[in-house]
Amino acid sequence: MDEFRAGQAEAAGAMRSDAARSETAPEAPDLPRVAGRRCSGAPAGRGAYAALDLGTNNCRLLIARRPSGGDAAEGNGDFQVIDAFSRVVRLGEGLLQSGRLSDAAMDRAMVALSACADKLARRGVAQVRSVATEACRRAGNGPDFVRRVYAETGLALDVITPAEEARLAVLGCQTLIDRRARRTLVFDIGGGSTEVVLLERVNGNRLRDRAQGPGFRMQAWVSVPWGVVSLGETELADAGNPVRRLEAYARMKARVARHLGPVKRLMQGEVQMLGTSGTVTTLASLNMGLLQYDRRKVDGSLAATSELVALSHDLALKSPEERALIPGVGTDRADLVVAGAAILEALIDLGAAPMLRVADRGIREGILRSMIAREDSQRLQASSG
């Protein structure tokens, strides 16, 4: 079908320009304010914290507290998860074509958000930050949806910028960064965009560098306007035969690669690769041969990039029905995993790293670390002032 109308006319120029979404060494945003529920005025001390991430594909919630015996003066942002929630909502379904969130997608998201609000109420959590990402940024009716969420659930969604999304993803994964590496490429493959950050080691542990983790600074950042949902919608659900499926995969990979120039120019020498997303964890789990997903085995593991690329090609050759039968993929990911794999291969092609560090963590963990670090900073200022 004319290559699915040339990738839906390349999604109207990927719906925003590469220049508007990438830069070198951007200013790190300040620690975020707490945007959560109406019931602010959170109690001080060792209460619970919550982080909600409404993405283009998923709605996820983490509730955590400080580990027992944790010392606020350490300021390391450590936490212990006490409850969690995750549901596929596909909020961005059809957004590429219409520029709006569909009624069905918003209703699915509302069901999940209501469940999150109930969970927060039962736990009595007052310190909450709720964020929304690419789908709400792009959609013409995104602001109306945010107002609806607040009216019906009391959750105040903070529609964050791509820069803030990248910062939170890095902060959530920072404990997996190899401190021996001079530079690390951190990426988060989302439903509507992919955030890519190149970190460089610096001397010391300055306060302004804490958003990127101790001893690192952001050397470059790109927000690629393609995620697993938006990129997948540029091609037919099934091209019909293995040859055409692989051609569709190659076109998706090329769409992503066009946005990676600002990072590619800096990828000389050894660079550690650290990836977070459902795509990365799913492919890592499949590569391990796990019949059921096991976070304890996947999070922090190392995967050979050559093996991930070979696995990606194998998945691309299969029909959605064939992929749905694979343990760990299923019907929820059968039509998304190939688009995610195309994004991953475009990122792997940036350098010659033989291994990828896999992270089953990201924005939510970054939010929790930010909240705890902010509280610690306030306490230290109060005690010293």
pLDDT tens by residue, 266-324? 998 889 999 999 999 999 999 999 999 999 999 999 999 999 999 999 999 999 999 99
| Strand blocks (E) in 18-143 | 22-24, 48-54, 58-65, 80-88, 127-132
| Strand blocks (E) in 40-182 | 48-54, 58-65, 80-88, 127-132, 157-159
Instruction: List residues bridging with 52 in a β-sheet.
Output: 61, 130
* pLDDT grade for 77, boundaries at 50, 70 and 90: low
CA 297 to chain CA mean position, Å: 20
pLDDT, tens digit, for every residue of 125-158? Answer: 989 999 999 999 999 999 999 999 999 999 999 9
Query: What secondary structure letter does DSSP report for 50?
Result: E
CA–CA dist 345, 331 (Å, integer): 22
Closest listed residue to residue 288, CA positions, set 340, 231, 244, 327: 327
Quote helix, strand, coil % in the chain, to nearest 5. Answer: 45, 20, 35
Q: Specify the fold of 33-160.
A: Nucleotidyltransferase; domain 5 (3.30.420)
Closest listed residue to residue 32, CA positions, set 159, 174, 173: 159
Give the residue-averaged pLDDT of 357-376: 94
Considering the domain delimited by 2-10+163-363, tell me its CATH architecture. 2-Layer Sandwich (3.30)
Give the residue range(s) of CATH 3.30.420.150 domains in the chain: 2-10+163-363
pLDDT over 50 at 243, yes or no: yes
pLDDT over 80 at 69, yes or no: no
Give the residue range(s) of CATH 3.30.420.40 domains in the chain: 33-160
Type of residue at 367 = I
Give the residue-averaged pLDDT of 218-230: 95
The pairing of beta strand 216-224 with beta strand 302-304: unpaired
What local confidence, expressed as pLDDT, does residue 4 receive?
39
Of 8-22, 62-76, 287-301, minimum mean pLDDT range:
8-22
CA–CA dist 274, 269 (Å, integer): 16
